[in-house]
Copies of this chain bind each other. A is one copy, B any other.
């Protein structure tokens, strides 16, 4: 393959559902010239309630599908799969680089507030794995970390109720549960791919002086850095392509996914695949 052809290869993004489209959106905004391919394993979501062995098996199958299409970098946009399967997928894709969403989010939070107090908002499954806690404590042993499971925020994002009095009240209640006089928050890490849709509401309730770290944006920044340093950024003048694959439910993927991606999707935009 020529150097030009290699640069033409898409960046692959994999998630258990539509949530990872927030990561795809951030990559597209940072790197509008890049070809992109997304795979949502909607037939087997949610990964969070599955056993680690099953999650690894699913992630390997999804990665194989993207690998067969040809990609120059893989982003695991699913927090659960990032926490459980990152090493296995790096072996599988070698020498193509593989990024999770946990490490970039944790790094950005720690760099902005060394020795700070970080509140991770995530799903129950991600909190149970302690993935952000471990990553932050490894990067900054002085940091304090709390993790708050916020399942209702997932439904709020999927329902599209991301602003207004109901979203405000729910965010307020979760923050009140997580914070007390022993723990004053310096930064809030959006540790679920759905939560960037609630970023404005969370920022507003948290108040000034609290950083809100969006794992999607920080991951996109690392993608750019990695491709630039390897000399693999696409340089063609032709319009970039976007392919969306799902393992089930194209209609729902289009409807809910459009909100996550920030532009409307048709069912025919989604290609159903078997893994």
Q: Which residues of A contact B (CB under 8 A)?
A: 42-43, 45, 49-51, 54, 124, 151-152, 154-156, 158-159, 161, 165-166, 169-170, 173, 248-249, 252
Contact = CB atoms under 8 A, between A and B. Distances in A.
A40 to B, nearest CB: 11
Contacts of A252: 49, 124
Contacts of A124: 252
Tell me what chain A mostly uses at the interface: helix, strand, loop, or mixed: helix
Contacts of A154: 155
Which 7 pairs across A and B sit closest by C-beta, in order of nearness? A155-B155, A152-B155, A166-B169, A151-B155, A49-B249, A152-B159, A151-B159
Copies in the complex: 2
Nearest to A174: B159
Contacts of A51: 43, 248
Contacts of A165: 169
B173 A166 contact: yes
Contact of A45 (B49, B152, B159, B161): B49
